[in-house]
Amino acid sequence: MLEGLGRNRFLRRGLLLGPALFVIGFFMILPLFLMAYVSILERGLAGGVQWGQHTLEAYVRFLFERDLMDNLVVNIDYLRIFGRSFALAFGTMIVALAIGLPTAFYMALQPARWRNLLIFLVTIPFWTNLLVRNYAWILLLRDSGLVNSGLIWLGLTDEPVRLLYTPFAVGVGLTYSFLPFMILPIYASLEKLDLRLVEAAYDLGANKWKALTRIVLPLALPGIAAGSILVFIPALGAYVTPELLGGSRQLMIGNLIQGQFGAARNWPFGAALAFVLLAIVLCSMMLYLLRFRRAPGQG
């Protein structure tokens, strides 16, 4: 049947692309436009929106609030939440990189038969629901949890250290959740690295440190860049982890947006927040890619 279709290239192309176009169109592009439209509508008083009544109020609200005289006054509360989210996501990325890079190195240097097992081990956490894994961290980090009991037992502290519902807890949860996304791309780029290049570097007088910094790391850069993006972006929009481990005081963007569609019943503002986030992510991505665009194509 496919051979018959071969005669008509356009038809065949259309049929092959169709499902993908449908999925992207209906489940991504359309909702995106819907959200964009919602963000420039008047809010409905009991949630929802007032169709046909356009306003940019939601975007204004991101940076300003109106005082009693209806004057615009700068309000950086929301910016602060964005800032905190960025700091947490960035910190998560750095810690994941610090843990993931050596791990990926270790994996790539193992004999071939061990490597697949190690990849398998890295992906095991994905078998469990994110929610469950975050609850597990609550059990570990709470005042009577394993970590605190351990510290007390070791005599390092007399009373439990406050771990849960702190930025630390959120950072730990995010790092734990997204670490495999850092390890796997770096491993992939290291695994295909030609070890003869390292030999060539030794041969030309490079010691181990020089071979690492001048040859291995630059060649692993595409993997490091990919891993960093894959950790940073989902960490930035994380919802479940800050909700469970951060409590009410460690709000992140994800929780803020959720709150606007939920309790605050301000759909346009929620949609506007989502778009501001999207814009910032796109811009930072573009900067990042520009920085790493010169990463080598490996043969």
Partner 1 sequence: MESVSEAAIEARRLTKVFDGPGGEVRALDNVDLIIRKNEFFTLLGPSGCGKTTLLRLVAGFEQPSGGELLMDGEAIAERPPHRRPVNTVFQSYALFPHMTVAENVGFGLEMMGRPREEIGQRVERMLALVKLEGMGPRRPNQLSGGQQQRVALARALANQPKVLLLDEPLSALDFKLRKEMQIELKRLQSETGITFVFVTHDQEEALTMSDRIAVMSDGNVLQIGSPTEIYEHPTSRFVADFIGETNLLTGRLSERMASSLRFELDSGGLLEGQEDGGNETGARVTLAVRPERAEISREGSGLAARIEQIVYFGTDTHYHLRLDEQTPFVVRHQNRSGATSRFSQGEEVRVTISPDAIRVLQD
- Beta carbon of residue 212, minimum distance to partner 1 (angstroms, whole number): 13
112: contact with partner 1 by CB under 8 A: no
Considering only residues 158 through 197, tell me which ones interact with partner 1, judged by CB under 8 A: 194, 196-197
Nearer to partner 1, 52 or 205 (CB): 205
Stretch that binds partner 1, among 101-109, 112-120, 141-149, 204-212 (CB under 8 A): 204-212
User: Under a CB-based contact definition with an 8 Å cutoff, are residues 186 and 223 in contact?
Assistant: yes
Nearer to partner 1, 113 or 249 (CB): 113
Stretch that binds partner 1, among 36-44, 137-145, 205-213, 234-242 (CB under 8 A): 205-213
Q: Considering all CA atoms of the chain, what is the largest pairwise distance in Å, rounded to the nearest integer?
A: 79
* Non-local CB neighbours of 117 within 8 Å, separated by 6+ positions: none
Tell me the two tokens of residue 179: 């670490």
50: DSSP letter? E
- Count of CB atoms situated within 10 Å of the CB of 236: 23
Tell me the two tokens of residue 201: 């570097």
Tell me the two tokens of residue 27: 């489940």
219: contact with partner 1 by CB under 8 A: yes
199: contact with partner 1 by CB under 8 A: yes
- Beta carbon of residue 14, minimum distance to partner 1 (angstroms, whole number): 36
- Count residues contacting partner 1 (CB under 8 A)? 23
Residue ranges in the chain assigned as alpha helix (H):
2-5, 9-24, 30-39, 57-63, 77-108, 112-123, 130-141, 146-153, 167-191, 195-203, 208-211, 217-236, 240-245, 253-261, 267-292
Stretch that binds partner 1, among 35-43, 52-60, 93-101, 217-225 (CB under 8 A): 217-225
295: contact with partner 1 by CB under 8 A: yes
Nearer to partner 1, 81 or 197 (CB): 197
What residues make contact with partner 1 under the rule CB under 8 A? 194, 196-197, 199-207, 210, 214-215, 218-219, 221, 295-299
